[in-house]
Amino acid sequence: MSSSKIYNVIPDATLVCSLILAYFFDHNSPIVTLVSSPASLTGWLMVILGLGLALYILANLRSEHTSTDAAGVPSEFITSGLYSRSRNPFYLSYVIITLGAAFTLGSLTSFVAPIICFAVMGAAIIPFEERILRQEFGQEYEQYRRKVRRWL
């Protein structure tokens, strides 16, 4: 499998594996409950918000006729909308989803999920994509990078 195909799989695999780990840790070694019902219901709202955000961003990228692949070379440089607030709103949506799942499950150990998701995106995926954007859009990307935060 080529490195670009691997990078295309890593974000989604990280999300799914993080959610599975959260469930596993919550049910097998919960340690202590941090969030209990009815407050844990806010976690479902966060999951729905994160999913809605991800779908909105994918639709936006497709409407701009640019790549939705992590390793794809974008044909358009989008800096408006959510991209004016975050350089990585799609990956932010993944962290929101895993954080929502952790709140829904409620145990201390379930909060491993958003930490893993945040770490993998921040250490592996985002730097890889930033190199592509730097190569493709040069100074325009550098100005944007200095103006807009990575996450929020």
> Is the four-CA dihedral 146, 128, 115, 84 of positive or negative sign?
positive
CA nearest 10: which of 119, 151, 134? Answer: 119
Beta bridge partners of residue 107, listed in sequence order: 33
Q: Tell me the pTM.
A: 0.94
* Statement: 3-147 belongs to CATH 1.20.120.1630: yes
pLDDT in tens, 17-48: 999 999 999 999 998 999 888 888 999 999 99
pLDDT in tens, 70-112: 888 999 999 999 999 999 999 999 999 999 999 999 999 999 9
